[in-house]
Amino acid sequence: MQKTLVDTFIVPEESKDIFRERTRSIQNFLKTLPGFVEGFTYEKKAGENRYNIITTAVWESEEAIASARKAVAAEFQKQNFNPQELMKTLKVEGERGIYERIPY
């Protein structure tokens, strides 16, 4: 059963350009991995909520997510990239969860 990885972020206005650029780079890598189905970025334009950017990545299974995590960690190490450090520098807050899509 497909699983959706959902990341919700609070991104300060002054950090949005760098955040978007880095997010696109990561998403381009994710699209190459086995088990990736589709992904989207949502940016809030109206309404009350503390989160202003949401990303989703749909995977074929939790096993595909686990494999992707390993591949991403290896890629980040190869690039000498520390996402937690970037988030701190950009003053971005985020939360992650795995969801099952249920039609309505």
The pLDDT tens digits of the residues spanning 43-82 come to 999 988 889 999 999 999 999 999 999 999 999 999 999 9
Does 104 map to a domain?
Answer: no
Does 61 map to a domain?
Answer: yes
Q: How far apart are CA 67 and CA 47, in angstroms?
A: 36
Q: Please state, as a whole number, how many other Cβ atoms lie within 10 Å of the Cβ of residue 28.
A: 9
Q: Is the pLDDT of residue 11 over 90?
A: yes
The mean predicted confidence, pLDDT, of the chain is 95
Pick from 32, 28, 31, 37: which is nearest to 2 by CA? 37
Does 28 map to a domain?
Answer: yes
Task: Indicate whether this model's pTM tops 0.75.
Answer: yes
The CATH number given to whatever domain includes residue 80 is: 3.30.70.100
What is the count of structural domains for the chain? 1
Does 76 map to a domain?
Answer: yes
Percentage of the chain surpassing pLDDT 90? 90
Does 87 map to a domain?
Answer: yes
Domain that holds residue 71: 3-99
Does 71 map to a domain?
Answer: yes
Q: Own/partner pairs for 19-24, CB < 8 Å, 24+ apart? A: 19/53, 19/90, 19/92, 22/86, 23/53, 23/55
> How many Cα atoms sit within 13 Å of 46 on the Cβ side?
0
